[in-house]
Amino acid sequence: MKLHLLLHACTVLTLFGTPLMPAPSGVAKPPAPTARTMESEGTRLHEVERTPELRRDIQTIIGRLRKQWLKSPLKQQDELPGIIASQLPDGSFPDIDYQDKTANLWRPAEHIKRIRLLCRAWADPASPLHHDATLAACVQKAVQRWCKNTPQYSGFWWTDMFIPQSLAEAMLLAPELFPEGPLREGALLICKRSRVIPKYTGNNLVFVAQNIFLRGLFEENLALLDYAANILTREIRLAPMEHATEWTFGGIRQDGFYHQHGPQIQMGNYGREFLDNIARWASIWHGTRWQLTPQQWDTMHLLAFDGFPWTLWKGRMDLLAIGRQLWHDPGLNKGRSVLASLKALGRIDPQGPAKYEDIQKCNQGQNTLVGNRMFWNSEYMSHRRPEWMASIRANSTRVRPIEDDVVWDNGLGRYFSDGTFLLHRTGQEYLDITPCWDWTRLPGTTLPATPVAHTKNRRFTYSANGSRQLGETSFVGGCSDGMHGVFVFHQNLDGVQARKAYFCDEDAIYLLGTGITSKSPYPVATTVNCCLLEGPVAKGKNWFHHDSVGYVGTGMKLFTGEATGDWRFVHGGQKEESLVTKNLFRLTIEHGIAPRKAVYAVGVFPGASPEETSRRSLKNILCNTPDIQAVRLADQSIAAVFYRPGTLLGFHTDSPGVFLIQKQTHTVSSADPTHRLSQMTLSLDGNSKTVTLPSDQHAGSTITVHFSP
């Protein structure tokens, strides 16, 4: 089948199902796929009038796909003759371990990568191997080998997603190498591993839909294209909340974050891939009748403007937003990908590129995204100043902890999202630190020194119930007025209870803990920070200074020195030992074994000099009790956590909650960390108001109450 025949045949297809824009005059809209059509994977074609407009749009889309695949120079060009020459008579390659079962780095997938690479060279007029007969024979033998001896693997990502995608792209790049017959049918059978099943949601579903679309394009199957494209575009929406706590849940949340594998932050993994996928398809659709609708652009704006920018600092993504893939400078890799996708969206957004350009500038020079944002569906707070950024993440009964049970990634990360606090100035404070961390002494956390199993399974062994699917407590969340924030984490984890609060000020972060009680047999400690050692450490009575950050508080214990770790315990696909050593700076407050009602209070002052740090105090901490934790901020407002109804300095609440109290402007910002209350009655200097709280997926978000002077 010649490529020009494929393109000609494709002019009768409506690639993206029900049009996202009104169809041009004279073009009939194809009916939506029915259950019967879906079950048969679209074996019946819809008749579509071959208008010039439709032909032009189809050819534009096909051309854009091929341009994307061929746009970059073929870096492996010099390797191709060796690959072809090494092929064995049965079509296999001697350097590939076809029996490998490793999850993340499944070696047999290299076979399919080579097929696509060779087809890429075949299709590229600039390649010395363009339409080379020896290359063609190598491709066909390799495809036959895979179809006859498909390696077995129990996971789904490689076999249901990556392999079908790569093979379908290879077939579209070099259709002449897949003529009618057993070779073609066998390749299509491999591609049919991508299918819509209930466990695929969010970006997993988008991935599968793309693969089905590519196969439908090769097969010239209109109904299949309609079916796949309708599924793909349907995911540009807020996540449906049915089964919201189950593993299959995923999608864009009301707060602007992306979740996958349950109600779990996945901005750096599935969210980043979703952004990339939609940016790519939106670019392909742009200017055709299938371009994004205004409603879909609004949804993408939520993710692009209110979500991703708050996770980036100097081009790197915050580790707490990434999730489980924490190997080899993940912040930079994820950040670059997000910025590239946002740049692509900016080129075609009907509202213009200005906001996207601001995001690029913000990550290339002086930070201009200044303020505080609480992501109430995700239990994540981002606090940004011109010269630094802080992030806080915790778990509740409404969200899933960072996963440590998928393809052995992040196998030590049981506690990574349990009140963790990261501070960014240069953006490199935690560069490749993850294998060297003590994962029971993570920044911001209060944890027992639970033994970690450095064994074949590379997992925590403390919990008899395996990985945690949801957090343990409901009183978790935060309140933001746009510039300041207060975050609370009522912890009850592996025998350790604590009431932890984080107060985000204009020039400081205050970390307060109270009621720390443990039944764990292991020593408990609060870690103020653990980052890479950079330069000298200054210290005095109740203060430390390191890397332009001051720390003030009692009971802090300093550790500096080398720590050695193994990338295998972070990267699930790595088999061989891979040791790395880093010099660490770590401040902890030791609570010992079985503490009873222990407390801590620390001020963190980014940008402070040693002299300024020595003069700072914690006199602005108003309360740190099991009932109230409160701090007076630099602008004289009061940030407070009330664990029960109470009164503080002229403010009264009849309900537990988190509050930012601004007497000068007679306003109170408030939020319900439990997401259960329907109303609160608040009083400020004798004036009372009963306010209705946000509900449904806005429950837990901040409202601002104005009182009369």
* pLDDT tens readout for residues 218-237: 887 777 877 888 888 889 99
pLDDT above 80 (res 453): no
Q: Identity (one letter) of the amino acid at 232?
A: L
CB-based contact 42:254 (threshold 8 Å): no
> d(Cα 418, Cα 341) in Å, to the nearest integer?
30
> Helix/strand/coil (H, E, C) string of 526-546?
EEEEEEECCCCEEEECCEEEE
Residue bearing the bigger pLDDT, 400 or 413: 400
> How remote is the C-alpha of 309 from its chain's centroid?
12
Bridge-based pairing of strands 687-692 and 679-684 is: antiparallel
- The residues near 485 (Cβ < 8 Å, ≥ 6 apart) are 372, 373, 374, 381, 383, 478, 479, 502, 503, 504, 639, 660
Q: What's the mean pLDDT in 1-27?
A: 29
pLDDT band at 458 (very low <50, low <70, confident <90, very high): very low
Q: What's the mean pLDDT in 201-207?
A: 88
Look-up of token digits 């978000």: 701
What pLDDT does residue 5 have?
A: 33
Residue bearing the bigger pLDDT, 510 or 62: 510
pLDDT above 50 (res 273): yes
pLDDT above 60 (res 25): no
> d(Cα 433, Cα 655) in Å, to the nearest integer?
41
How is 423-448 classified by DSSP, letter by letter? EESSS-TTTT-GGGS-TTS-TT-EEE
What pLDDT does residue 452 have?
A: 67
Say whether 251 sits in a helix, a strand or coil.
Answer: strand
pLDDT above 80 (res 562): yes
pLDDT band at 51 (very low <50, low <70, confident <90, very high): low
How many CB atoms lie under 10 A from the CB of residue 215? 26
pLDDT above 70 (res 655): yes
Furthest-apart CA pair in the chain: how many Å? 88
> Helix/strand/coil (H, E, C) string of 533-599?
CCCCEEEECCEEEECCEEEEECCEEEEEEEEEEEHHHCCCCCCCCCEEEEEEEEEEEEEECCCCCEE
What pLDDT does residue 478 have?
A: 98
Q: Where are the domains of the chain?
A: 236-369, 375-620
Q: What's the mean pLDDT in 199-225?
A: 86
Picking from 575, 577, 573, 576, the residue whose alpha carbon sits closest to that of residue 109 is 573
What's the token pair of residue 542?
């109740």
Residue 154 to residues 101, 158, 326, 458, Cα–Cα distance (Å): 8, 10, 24, 19
pLDDT above 70 (res 241): yes
pTM to 2 decimal places: 0.85
Average pLDDT, the chain: 89
> d(Cα 111, Cα 107) in Å, to the nearest integer?
8
Q: What's the mean pLDDT in 181-197?
A: 95
pLDDT band at 201 (very low <50, low <70, confident <90, very high): confident
What pLDDT does residue 12 have?
A: 27
> d(Cα 373, Cα 71) in Å, to the nearest integer?
39
Say whether 622 sits in a helix, a strand or coil.
Answer: strand
> d(Cα 363, Cα 359) in Å, to the nearest integer?
6
> d(Cα 400, Cα 470) in Å, to the nearest integer?
4
What pLDDT does residue 232 have?
A: 87
Residue bearing the bigger pLDDT, 454 or 472: 472
Say whether 670 sits in a helix, a strand or coil.
Answer: strand
What pLDDT does residue 26 have?
A: 28
DSSP bridge pairs for 245 = none
Residues 370-388 pLDDT 10s: 999 999 999 999 999 999 9
**HSE-CB of 486 using CA atoms within 13 angstroms:** 28
Residues 671-685 pLDDT 10s: 999 999 999 999 999
> d(Cα 396, Cα 379) in Å, to the nearest integer?
8
Residues 297-315 pLDDT 10s: 999 999 999 999 999 999 9
Picking from 496, 481, 460, 515, the residue whose alpha carbon sits closest to that of residue 670 is 481
Q: Identity (one letter) of the amino acid at 91?
A: G
DSSP bridge pairs for 557 = 588
How many CB atoms lie under 10 A from the CB of residue 271? 30
Residue bearing the bigger pLDDT, 450 or 524: 524
What pLDDT does residue 462 have?
A: 40
Backbone torsion region of residue 479, taken as left when φ is above 0, otherwise alpha when ψ lies between -120 and 50, otherwise beta: beta
DSSP state of 123: H
Tell me which of 160-164, 180-184, 287-291, 490-494 is least confident: 287-291
What pLDDT does residue 281 have?
A: 87
How many CB atoms lie under 10 A from the CB of residue 658? 27
Tell me which of 257-261, 286-290, 311-315, 586-590 is least confident: 286-290
Residues 588-638 pLDDT 10s: 999 999 999 999 999 999 999 999 999 999 999 999 999 999 999 999 999
Which ranges of 269-418 does DSSP label H, i.e. alpha helix?
270-285, 294-306, 319-322, 330-348, 354-364
Residue 394 to residues 28, 360, 680, Cα–Cα distance (Å): 51, 29, 24
pLDDT above 80 (res 35): no
Residues 324-359 pLDDT 10s: 888 899 999 999 999 999 999 999 999 999 999 999
What pLDDT does residue 45 have?
A: 41
What pLDDT does residue 225 have?
A: 75
Please give the class, per CATH, of domain 375-620.
Answer: mainly beta
Percent of the chain residues topping a pLDDT of 70: 90
Picking from 651, 660, 649, the residue whose alpha carbon sits closest to that of residue 688 is 651
How many CB atoms lie under 10 A from the CB of residue 268? 28
What pLDDT does residue 50 have?
A: 54
> d(Cα 655, Cα 61) in Å, to the nearest integer?
57
What's the token pair of residue 708?
């009369």
Backbone torsion region of residue 168, taken as left when φ is above 0, otherwise alpha when ψ lies between -120 and 50, otherwise beta: alpha
CB-based contact 424:390 (threshold 8 Å): yes
User: Which one is the CATH code of 236-369: 2.40.160.210, 1.50.10.100, 3.40.50.1820, 1.10.150.50?
Assistant: 1.50.10.100
Picking from 198, 290, 207, 287, the residue whose alpha carbon sits closest to that of residue 247 is 198
CB-based contact 583:560 (threshold 8 Å): yes
CB-based contact 600:590 (threshold 8 Å): no
pLDDT above 70 (res 57): yes
Q: What's the mean pLDDT in 462-478?
A: 80
> d(Cα 204, Cα 290) in Å, to the nearest integer?
22
